[in-house]
Structure 1
C-alpha cells in the first residue's frame, strides 16, 4: 500500500523555513514522486476518499 503526504502551510509568513519550490526540488532529488508528496498552492483543495477506522490503522 502506498502512502501520500500533503505538505501544508507552506510559505506562511510567520513560520516559513522552506518554499514550495525548494521542497519539490528536494523531493525530486531524493526520488520522491509528486504523487507521494502533494504540495498544494494557496487555496488549493484536495478531496480525499473516506476510509474506515480499520483501514486507517492497517
Structure 2
C-alpha cells in the first residue's frame, strides 16, 4: 500500500501540469476559432456594404 501511495504522489504533479496545459491550449484554440468567426463576419459585412455602395 505504501508503494501505491508513493507512486500516486509522484504522478499527481505531472497529471496536474498536464491538465493545466490541456486547459490552456483548449482556451487558446477556442479563442482563435471565435476570433476567426468574428473576422469572417466583419469581412462579410464590409463586402455587403461595398457591394451596396458600388451600385
Into which bin does the TM-score normalised by the smaller protein fall?
Answer: under 0.3
- More strand per residue: 1 or 2? 1
TM-score by length of 1: 0.24
- More helix per residue: 1 or 2? 2
- Structure number with bigger Rg: 2
